[in-house]
Structure 1
């Protein structure tokens, strides 16, 4: 089933977000896997991939079947710009990482909403997850706060996100 997207633009940052996905305040998306009751895939939003840069490695410290809870650190990713914990945004059990990341972790940035997912979970999204419009509003506030604090400017004072 083809995805419908909501477009977002702020200064020089533009992104499209799948309309049917859920989103976390920590910049992850959650999408139910069609035909698999209670199974969800989780990945970074385009905003998160922009902050991390190209990923070079992803590791998970939980095993398939382990219980997981929102806010838990369940792994880590390393990118050219930063390293980061992978936070859980689901309640249920860990269903595995995306094996494609072992071959090419860069797919997280090049195709974040379909092929570049991070992990799967059996359960439900965190209670305060947002629909796409709530996430876009959160993103607008986040980028504005970053701009007000002086983040996102290059050497010439140009805004860059």
Structure 2
């Protein structure tokens, strides 16, 4: 697991791109719980995200799961590859399976998220 990633309690990961933007996806643990992903409902570019609010839906053979924004900001890019290859979320949750890139409204929100180690400890306790 990439130690530069931050995690929300709702199993989204955030990578700080170092330029005021972040990349967001769902964790290895989340995709394992979902099973084989068959569809991802992507938000529109320029959509405004509010931390804690649902912005996407990931459907698997088992369930549909809301994806929540770990931070507040504006969507600047969506991973269009997921439209044809939603299984990238299963195969590469931290690489090719990213969902959106967001321009942060407040970088201080990153401090509210868990480190990779804290997140790993929290899912062991479940």
TM-score after normalising by structure 2: 0.89
Rg (Cα) greater in structure: 1
RMSD: 1.6
**1:31 is the counterpart of 2:15:** yes
Q: Secondary structure at the match of 1:90?
A: coil
Alignment match, 2:47: 66
Alignment match, 1:151: none
TM-score after normalising by structure 1: 0.71
CA positional deviation for 1:68: 1.2
Alignment match, 1:40: 22
CA contact (8 A) 1:51 1:81 kept: no
CA distance in 1, matches of 2:12, 2:119: 10
**1:137 is the counterpart of 2:121:** yes
**Greater length-normalized contact order (CA 8 Å, ≥ 6 residues apart):** 2
Q: How many pairs does the alignment contain?
A: 123
CA distance in 1, matches of 2:103, 2:122: 26
Once the two structures are superposed, what CA deviation does each residue of 1:12-56 show, in whole Å capped at 9, x if it has no partner?
xxxxx211111111111111236xx11111111111001111111
Once the two structures are superposed, what CA deviation does each residue of 1:42-83 show, in whole Å capped at 9, x if it has no partner?
1111110011111111113x4322321111111211111211
CA contact (8 A) 1:33 1:41 kept: yes
CA distance in 2, matches of 1:127, 1:68: 18
Once the two structures are superposed, what CA deviation does each residue of 1:83-141 show, in whole Å capped at 9, x if it has no partner?
11121111111223211101200010101111110111111455520111111111112
- Note the residue ranges of structure 2 that are not aligned, 5 or more in a row: none
CA distance in 2, matches of 1:138, 1:100: 31
- Superposed counterparts of 1:1-161, under 5 Å: 17-33=1-17, 37-60=19-42, 62-123=43-104, 124=107, 125=109, 127-142=111-126
